[in-house]
Structure formats: structure tokens, C-alpha cells
Amino acid sequence: MDEKINLKRRIADFKALDPIEKNRLLKEFLINNSLYILIIAAIIGIQIYQPRFLSLTSIINILTLSAANLPIALGIAGCIILTGTDLSAGRIVGLTACVAASLLQASGYANKMFPQLDTFPIWLVLIIVIAIGALIGFINGFCTAKFKLHPFIVTLATQLITYGVLLMYLMNGTNNGQSISGLDSKYTSFISGSIIRFGSVAIPNLIFYSLGITVIMWFIWNKTAFGKNMFAVGSNPEAANVSGVNVTLTIIAVFVLAGMMYGITGFIEAARIGSNTASTGANYELDAIAACVIGGVSFVGGIGKIRGVITGVVLLRIIFVGLTFLGIDSNLQYVIKGLIILVACALDMRKYLIKR
């Protein structure tokens, strides 16, 4: 309601300006939103070149891939709001994916990691991987908050540790470092199967799980004292302390929550990929950080919105899929990804620079 009135007033204000001012504001608007404008232009371009790009199957594909990556981005976004980062995210996804897969291999499968064990109930495995994520997140948060280390350093270390643990885990039983496959069909259909169909196209369940998680995260960010405290700590930790915010606990909680999100991503990815190795999850954190930055979660600290994270994840995915559709060399795709991140960060910083 208020926003609507505000918008009307702003339009009226804009109309009242003289042409020079109008031009200046228009230019500002174009520069500040140039990333979105470029991406929309790119989508139109790809669509003209490859009409299948925006077909229903393709859109569902983009949404599925986005949904799989959304929880990890939502987790990392919290760390960025605290002016931190999390380099261990991808490896935690890898570890939890492999753990989930190994516990949910079909009972008759020949190369089962734990042949003597029955297939676990799905809910129990979900809880186990969330707990693993939370534990590593706790270590990240504890070291950051208590030893006053920069999260970059802490998560650089835990990333290595987690990877080592993952490699050791894959040596279990007769597995000997092989990939873990032969997943129980109940598990794969729980994630990738579909209850709802859209015409001839099936919508994978994981899209709805991701939506549910997004709603929960929106609630945590916007409607809880913890959420408000997170933004306050990200904006000015000293003032937060004086104001009675438990800064240590807030930092730890943000990292624990992030770890839980990585666990969920691992759980989803294990079933979606089907065959999990030590490289599962590698570099996921970089895509997630890029998505957050594109979505306006700022390294300045204390700034970010859930809808920004969603926008970032989906846009990044559209670009990746689009580049593949255009048949662009995968090596060149890295170059383009890098450029997009640079432009996004530069535009983001521009908003917080003091104009003179």
C-alpha cells in the first residue's frame, strides 16, 4: 500500500523535474541496472538465435538447476552480510552429498559402501547431513567469532579439512575412492521425481523443496530477532555489541545456518547427480558467491535481500544455460562468468560510493 503511494509520488516527482535532471536520473538508472538490462538483451538475443531456449522444457531445466543451487546461495548470503565469506561451502556440499548417497544406496547394489547396513530412512539421512553441515558451520562460526579470524582464513582451512575427510570417507569399505552410485529409487524419486506435471513436462519435486526453504529463510531474515541482529552485526559489530546484541552467538548462528543449507544442497545434489565423487560440489561456493553479488548482497556488509539472492541464482543459471545453447566453447564460458562478476561488483560498489 505504502509502496504504491510512494511509487506514484516518485513518478510525479520525476515528471516535475527539468529535462537536464531527467536525463541525469535516467542515465543513473540505466547504469545502476545495466546488468539486468544486458541480461534481458542477452536472453532476447539467444531466443532469436535458438528458439528452443525459452521452451517450457528449457525453462523447467533452468529452474531445476537454480533450485538445486539456491540453498547454498542463501546460506552463503548470510556470511556475506556479516562482511565475511565461506569458501568451505562447496566441499561441505560434496561431503554431505557423498554421505547421503552412501547411506541411501539400493540394498541389492553390488558395490554398496556399507553392504551390511540396510538402506536408511530418507528423513534420518536428511537429518544426518544437516547435522554434518551444521557441525562444520559451527567450527567456521566459532573460529570467526571467538578468535576474531577473518572467515576467508577460517573457511580456507576448513575447506581443506572437509575435502580430506571426504576423500577418507570415500575409502570406506570396498569403495576405494570410487564414485557412489546405485541410489535407492525412493530417494531419487523423492528429489527428482515429480508429483505435479505441467502439460507434458514434469516439474521435479526439488523445485518445491527449494521454494519451501526460501520461505523459511525469508522468515528468518525478516521476521526474527536473529535476522535483525545479523544485519546489525554486519553493519557495525561494535555498535551491535554496545546495543546488547550477542555478537559471538549471532556470528556462530549465521555460519551454522549456512552449514545446514549446504547439507540440504548436498542432499538434493546427491540424488540429482546420481553418481557422486570427491569432486561433487567443487567450486559451488564460487557460483553461489557470484549469484549473491549479482543479486545485490554486498560485501560492504549489512545489505542483502532474499529476493536478490533468488534473482542472482536464476540470472546466473540463465547465463550458463544460454551460453551452452549458443554453443560457446566451455573455456570461454569461464571468461564470460568472470567478467559478469567483475561488472556486478563494480556496479554494486558504485551505489555505496559517496557522490561528490
Q: Which is nearer to another protein, 197 or 355 (CB)?
A: 355
Q: How far is the CB of 4 from another protein (least distance, A)?
A: 15
Q: How far is the CB of 199 from another protein (least distance, A)?
A: 38
Q: How far is the CB of 7 from another protein (least distance, A)?
A: 14
> Which residues have CB under 8 Å from 65's CB, separation 6+?
317, 320, 321
Q: How far is the CB of 153 from another protein (least distance, A)?
A: 19
Residues 216-275 binding another protein (CB under 8 A) are 219, 222-225, 227-229, 231-232, 235-236, 238-246
Residues 277-316 binding another protein (CB under 8 A) are 300-303
Residues 57-86 binding another protein (CB under 8 A) are none
Q: Rounded to an integer, what distance in angstroms lies between the CA atom of residue 61 and that of residue 99?
A: 26
Residue 35 zone, left/alpha/beta (φ > 0; ψ -120 to 50; rest): alpha
Residue 181, all three cell numbers: 552410485
DSSP code for 197: E
DSSP code for 111: T
Among the residues of the chain, which ranges form H helices? 2-16, 19-32, 34-49, 56-81, 89-103, 122-146, 151-169, 185-191, 205-223, 225-235, 237-242, 247-273, 284-294, 306-325, 330-352
Stretch of 132-140, 177-185, 215-223, 285-293 lying at the interface with another protein (CB under 8 A): 215-223
Q: Which is nearer to another protein, 95 or 245 (CB)?
A: 245
> Which residues have CB under 8 Å from 164's CB, separation 6+?
none
Q: How far is the CB of 300 from another protein (least distance, A)?
A: 7
Residue 304 zone, left/alpha/beta (φ > 0; ψ -120 to 50; rest): left
Q: How far is the CB of 143 from another protein (least distance, A)?
A: 21
Q: Which is nearer to another protein, 28 or 329 (CB)?
A: 28
Q: Rounded to an integer, what distance in angstroms lies between the CA atom of residue 342 and that of residue 348?
A: 10
Q: Residues in contact with another protein, total (CB under 8 A)?
A: 28
Q: How far is the CB of 124 from another protein (least distance, A)?
A: 28
Pairing of strands 196-198, 201-203: antiparallel
Q: Which is nearer to another protein, 186 or 223 (CB)?
A: 223
Q: Which is nearer to another protein, 172 or 248 (CB)?
A: 248
> Which residues have CB under 8 Å from 313's CB, separation 6+?
66, 69, 70, 73, 288, 291, 295
Q: How far is the CB of 315 from another protein (least distance, A)?
A: 24
Asked if 309 and 91 touch (Cβ cutoff 8 Å), the reply is no
Q: Which is nearer to another protein, 129 or 232 (CB)?
A: 232
Convert residues 101-140 into a mask of x (bound to another protein by CB under 8 A) and - (unbound): ----------------------------------------
Q: Which is nearer to another protein, 94 or 301 (CB)?
A: 301
Q: Which is nearer to another protein, 29 or 352 (CB)?
A: 352
Residues 5-24 binding another protein (CB under 8 A) are 21
Residues in the site for another protein, rule: CB under 8 A?
21, 219, 222-225, 227-229, 231-232, 235-236, 238-246, 300-303, 352, 356
